[in-house]
Amino acid sequence: MRVLVTGGAGFIGSATCRRLVAHGSVVVNVDKLTYAANSRSLAALAGNSRYTFERADICDAAAMQRIFSDHEPDAVLHLAAESHVDRSITDAAAFIHSNFVGTYQLLEAARHYWAALPAERRNRFRFIHASTDEVFGSISEGRFREDTAYRPSSPYSASKAGSDHLAGAWHATYGLPVIVCNCSNNYGPYQFPEKFIPLAILNAFDGRPVPVYGDGSNVRDWLYVEDFVDGLVALLERGRPGEKYNFGSGRECTNLEVAECICAILDRTAPIGRPHQALISFVPDRPGHDLRYATNPSKAHTELGWRARTDFEGGLALTVQWYLENRAWWEPLRRDIYRGERLGLIEAQR
């Protein structure tokens, strides 16, 4: 299978590229290489004949048409997105452009390419659009289902909600074999250090304050990245066009519990002479911060045979250990791109 992966130099994208190539697929990675992309996350694929990199912007219609024509993929895994909520608060335009306009241009390029395929290849073609559970907004009880109404609260989640609707419309109107999936918060190795878990790990490791928004009571469903990649592969193999699938672990934790768990792991693996928990610092909350996300993945269980295999504590321990052992990956990022400063406060614009 020839798979076109957008955003393949990002956190989830690089894990997906590594997995697909290891399992024998031919991968074309299309990435603009923005601040959160990192080609070093794909060092293991250097020189591999089954891997090709195309530096291109998904908003560039001509580039997308050329890439489809040159590489003739059997499937698309659309993972490219601006994804950090805090950045969307102070620069919403970049999110609308990349997540909404970029998805439109990619869908159009895919549609014209797919329509010209021979019947057998056209029937096999799949377009997997990856999204987030944040499009559903906050939920007080129960869990998000595939038919839960959208109530996005941030510019980021609104831009992803819009892209989800585009993907569904291109299936309904043009017949493009689109599958949409919404996943809960991913974590694991190679995640850019502005996100909560790697930021907490690296700040605690450096003896710096570990910022927790508000009172730390916001709840998230945490999914280990390799488990989500399992879900993407299952969608390529068994997903039904026109359907939506939720992916979540069912393991809910407050942000404070996550920070405390990270500190406990570091107490065992990188002691500093006092509990790391003393570094936890409560900071002003994010504007419009959703209180709770919880995802119901039963459809993926039933139809795809997919389940999250990694328990949260075990996955978090693996993640902490990876960051401790891979300073060469994250130190340049902390030095040159993101130094741990607070993002996303509206007051910062004034």
Residue 71 within a domain: yes
Catalytic choice (31, 82, 134, 221): 134
Residue 103 within a domain: yes
Q: Is there a catalytic annotation at residue 147?
A: no
Residue 347 within a domain: no
Q: What is the pLDDT along the chain (350 residues), one digit of tens a residue?
A: 999 999 999 999 999 999 999 999 999 999 999 999 999 999 999 999 999 999 999 999 999 999 999 999 999 999 999 999 999 999 999 999 999 999 999 999 999 999 999 999 999 999 999 999 999 999 999 999 999 999 999 999 999 999 999 999 999 999 999 999 999 999 999 999 999 999 999 999 999 999 999 999 999 999 999 999 999 999 999 999 999 999 999 999 999 999 999 999 999 999 999 999 999 999 999 999 999 999 999 999 999 999 999 999 999 999 999 999 999 999 999 999 999 999 988 764 44
Residue 55 to residue 80: CA distance in whole angstroms: 12
Residue 219 to residue 247: CA distance in whole angstroms: 16
> What is the pTM for the complete model shown?
0.97
Is residue 103 helix, strand or coil? helix
Residue 152 to residue 143: CA distance in whole angstroms: 16
Q: Specify the CATH number for the domain of residue 60.
A: 3.40.50.720
CB count in 10 Å sphere of residue 172: 11
Residue 349 within a domain: no
Residue 348 within a domain: no
Catalytic choice (31, 82, 133, 227): 133
Q: Which domain holds residue 315?
A: 2-253+286-340
Residue 350 within a domain: no
Residue 257 to residue 60: CA distance in whole angstroms: 42
Q: Is there a catalytic annotation at residue 91?
A: no
Catalytic choice (104, 156, 187, 293): 156
Q: What is residue 346's predicted lDDT score, i.e. its pLDDT?
A: 77
Q: Structurally, how many domains does the chain consist of?
A: 1
Closest-CA residue to 340 (of 147, 187, 201): 201
Q: Is there a catalytic annotation at residue 134?
A: yes
Computed from CA positions of residues 34, 38, 43, 45, in that sequence, does the dihedral angle turn out positive or negative? negative
Mark 208-223 as b/e (b = at least 16 C-beta within 10 Å): eebbbbeebebbbbbb
Computed from CA positions of residues 176, 160, 92, 54, in that sequence, does the dihedral angle turn out positive or negative? negative
User: In sequence order, what DSSP letters do the residues of 46-90 get, joined into one string?
Assistant: TT-TTEEEEE--TT-HHHHHHHHHHH--SEEEE------HHHHHH
Residue 72 to residue 226: CA distance in whole angstroms: 27
On whether the CB atoms of residues 59 and 81 are closer than 8 A, the answer is no
